[in-house]
Amino acid sequence: MPGESVPAAGELAGSGAVVRPGSPGRAVAAADRGATRIADRVVAKIAAHAAREALDVLPPDAVRPHATVVVHHDTARVRVSLELDYPSDIGGQCGAVRRQVSRRVEELAGMSVPEVAVQVERLHSVQARGAAHGRTQ
């Protein structure tokens, strides 16, 4: 009839189910269509990038943050390794990294993150860097 909408190809009107080509009239429920799996290494890249976002400034010669993850169903446990300037608020920076990593993995990968372990691999001394440039007191 004029004015009526016609279901898009592969859809049953109003049901949210999909009709597979070659199987006339047989609807496939959303839960039976499959699932999307996000690779662990992709979640690790998201976590490492989020850790970098959380840190205001990295020491000039620092290695970028690195993350490893263990994914089980829709849960990711994350370990982030990073390097920080010293002296600085190490606890505050680690807390900011934990919050940002958890938030971004949940947003981008749709996974809950019950654990983010932050491992500080190296502290870069501001005084030592200053002494290397001839500025000692």
Q: Any idea what the Cα angle at residue 59 is, between residues 54 and 63, rounded to 5°?
A: 80
| Pair 118, 94: CB distance under 8 Å | yes
- Residue 71 is predicted with a pLDDT of 95
Tell me the two tokens of residue 72.
């089980």
pLDDT tens digits, one per residue of 49-89: 999 999 988 888 899 999 999 999 899 999 999 999 999 89
Angle at 82 between CA 97 and CA 112, to 5 degrees: 40
| pLDDT at residue number 136 | 47
- What mean pLDDT do residues 127-132 have? 61
Q: How many CB atoms lie within 10 A of CB 124?
A: 16
What is the per-residue burial (b if ≥16 Cβ within 10 Å, else e) of 35-56? Answer: eeebeeeebbebbbbbbeebbe
pTM flag (> 0.75): no
Q: Mean pLDDT, the chain, as a whole number?
A: 83
